[in-house]
Structure 1
Amino acid sequence: MVWVLPLRAVVLQSLFLLIAIATEAAILHWELKLSYKRSIEYATSLNLLSVVMGWLVFFLVLPILDEGLEQALVGYVLFDRLPDRLLLIGVSGFITFMLSFFVKLQGLNLLERLLERVEATPTTNEPPPQAQARRTFISSATSYKGSDRSQFLQQPDKRDAVLLANAASYTAISVVLLLRFLFYRDLS
């Protein structure tokens, strides 16, 4: 039996993970009003969970596929060979996007529940740090909404934030892949 280490796939996965963490941390910080440290921790945890789940699903689904599709998918993912069916890339990209969004959203809910349990049991008698007050700007055009607007500012929608963060990271990764394809194609 011959073991093959797809080093190029490992390096690209690491690069994409760094891009996704940086992009999503910035968006989670901005949308969910998290601290920089907490948003980086959340983005790192969610992306690592998504990558592990993605590889598990990839290797579980692979034996189910027909031989031609399996070879095309393995050739593209592990050995960087473009398949003859480019529709395969688009469909697998869309499925990957939707599955990673679902995994990240569920992971965020789980992470928040776990952190609530950990933070609920204080280890010292120190008072909790004061939450930083946020100044809200309400123009005359939006002042008619009154309490609905202030409630919206206090409770940001996690689903929208995770969707925006996931879309931004997939866009950044797609741009890197496109640039890589354009420059790599010219070299070969």
Structure 2
Amino acid sequence: MKRIIIFRHGEYDGSGELDADGAKAVFARAKLIRRETGRAATVFTSPVLRCRQTARVIALAMDGAETEDEELLAENCSDRAHECKNRLIALAERQDGDTIAAVSHEPNVRRMFNVSLRPGTEIMFEADDWRQIFDRPAQNLISRVQNFSEEYFRSYFIPECGEEDLAKLRGLDFLAGRL
């Protein structure tokens, strides 16, 4: 089974950096996802600062997933959604694992998958192959959502990071002195 997890970048401050609360919320969500579904091998990200920082937090929660900048995730793909989808498929197909994550911005997520996400939240799709995810996203989302734990859904409203998690987050340079 192939799986793609699409994150919207976390909450950020006026300078465009991921803020401490945003980092904690993303970490808590990504850690639960890892526990529920397994680890993403690669986190593709828009090169915009808040997305790159979100990707680093996700990679940390995924026990060291690789991060890779993808310029197309930064651009507003409103008029090129098909091109954006094909690029994500190509990126996914070159991976060894069955799960990837991507961090992008609201207009791109909405245009490619017809959903709106709050900052720091995600949507997950699962199918037999990568193309099915993009051809019928709603069908592949619904079948997956039914299998999540109550803890996963609660985390949308009350994300929690314990002391061990906070210690890991403090190791990220952009959060030094902010947690």
Larger proportion of strand: 2
- Higher Rg of the two aligned structures: 1
* TM-score normalised by L of structure 1: 0.26
Larger proportion of helix: 1
* TM-score normalised by L of structure 2: 0.27
